Amino acid sequence: MGSVSTSDRNPPVTHGPLSGLLVADFSRVLAGPFAAMMLADLGARVVKVERPGSGDDSRGYGPFLDGRSLYFARVNRGKQSVALDLKDPADLAVARSLALRADVVVENYRPGVMDRLGLGAPALLAENPRLVYCSISGFGHTGPWSQRPAYDAVVQAMSGIMTITGEQGGVPVKPGIPVADLSAGLYAFGGITSALLGRATTGRGTHLDIAMYDATVSLLEGAGLSFLATGEDPAAIGNAHFSIAPFDTFGCRDRDITICAANDGLFVTMVRALGLPRLADDPRFATNTARHAERTALKSEVEAVLRTADADHWLDVLDLAGVPCGPLSSVAEAMGSEQARVRRMVVDSGGLPGPGNPVKASGYDDPLVRPPAPALDEHGDAVRREFG
């Protein structure tokens, strides 16, 4: 699977479980491009529609390597690029032809923009009922916030996720990754593939309405469930779990490790491995509910032992006993690990490094060398000939 020159008249040959599908990608920056990249990684042909002159905003986002944006390259690899001015009737006609012939349309404009261009879901589905049309926006196409502009940090702030992140009693903290964008992209990817499966059965497409806000709220998980159960607003509790203990980071002599003993059997195994069998009979820690209520006292007991030796020693002890545990790795340690290498989680895309595809499908290649992200309008002439 490779890049196509502007002189080629034929579409690229792709390989993967989604081979043969045509995706019209009208999205920008992260959530939409990320969803469309997942489709491209699995074999779909993705034609990215960009603004003439500047293209996707993320072409100007760092980090840069050899003058190229890794941000843009990471979520646009394997796509074709055509620059179209959607306010120009001729370019709009090409965009409409592309969208009507596509199996999937992905867009992340504010609700109403695509409708005003004649590219909205109702208009396109009326002409192509088999189309799977995926809209990604900050707050969705319904509700009082539907017209609010949004970026990842805005949605994170409004979703409640910042108030449960950080140390107990500390200030709200944004997670270190754009969780609102990425979760919306993943839900979009799952929704698209599910809709394609449904289309194969019913012959009908659908309009998917994916909100970054909905996606992030759905990830509140333990904190959200705690509120629903008690009516009380949960606060940040650091690295602890909202309902399981011990399920936390613990300090050793040289560095912290994570230990997750999520049931009574694992708890007994853990304390015996650490030389603390008395804790197995301590009524304060007899059940998970009791351990969670006394998690601070339990952590003090465990850390008193862990701080007598280095992390590697205790990781070996706990791993041998079958207790889930791991070091607190840096990004360099995680991406440079042998596990990441074997799992092909760092790949080359047009000479630029980037994260690999976590979807491993037997019978299909998982290449270490991926097709590059396109230059702006790199495939414009060929796309206009094909869809003009």
Report, as residue numbers or ranges, the catalytic residues: 241
Confirm whether pTM is higher than 0.75.
yes
pLDDT band at 11; cut points 50, 70, 90: low
CATH 3.30.1540.10 fits 256-327, yes or no: yes
Whole-number pLDDT of residue 15: 82
pLDDT over 80 (residue 22): yes
pLDDT over 90 (residue 2): no
Whole-number pLDDT of residue 388: 86
pLDDT over 90 (residue 280): yes
Tens-digit pLDDT profile for residues 212-259: 999 999 999 999 999 999 999 999 999 999 999 999 999 999 999 999
Tens-digit pLDDT profile for residues 267-276: 999 999 999 9
**CATH code, residues 22-219+344-387:** 3.40.50.10540
Whole-number pLDDT of residue 1: 32
Nearest to 246 by CA among 172, 311, 325: 325
Whole-number pLDDT of residue 61: 96
Strand-pair partners of 68:
65
Q: What is the CA radius of gyration of the chain?
A: 25
Residues with Cβ within 8 Å of 375's Cβ and at least 6 positions away in sequence, in order, are: 81
Backbone angles phi, psi at 224, to 5 degrees: -65, -40
Mean local confidence (pLDDT), 104-115: 97
Nearest to 226 by CA among 170, 164, 146, 281: 164
pLDDT band at 12; cut points 50, 70, 90: low
How many helices (H) does the chain have, and how many strands (E)? Answer: 16, 14
DSSP per residue, 313-379: HHHHHHHHHT--EEE---HHHHHTSHHHHHTT-EEEETTEEEE--S---TTS---SEEPPPPPTTTT
pLDDT over 90 (residue 126): yes
Q: What is the mean pLDDT of the chain?
A: 94
**Do 22-219+344-387 and 256-327 agree at the fold level?**
no
Residue reference for tokens 């905003």 = 57
Q: Report the share of the chain in percent with pLDDT over 90.
A: 95
Please tell me the least confidently modeled range out of 13-27, 85-99, 290-304: 13-27
Query: How is the chain split into domains, by residue range?
Result: 22-219+344-387, 256-327
pLDDT band at 13; cut points 50, 70, 90: low
Tens-digit pLDDT profile for residues 58-80: 999 999 999 999 999 999 999 99
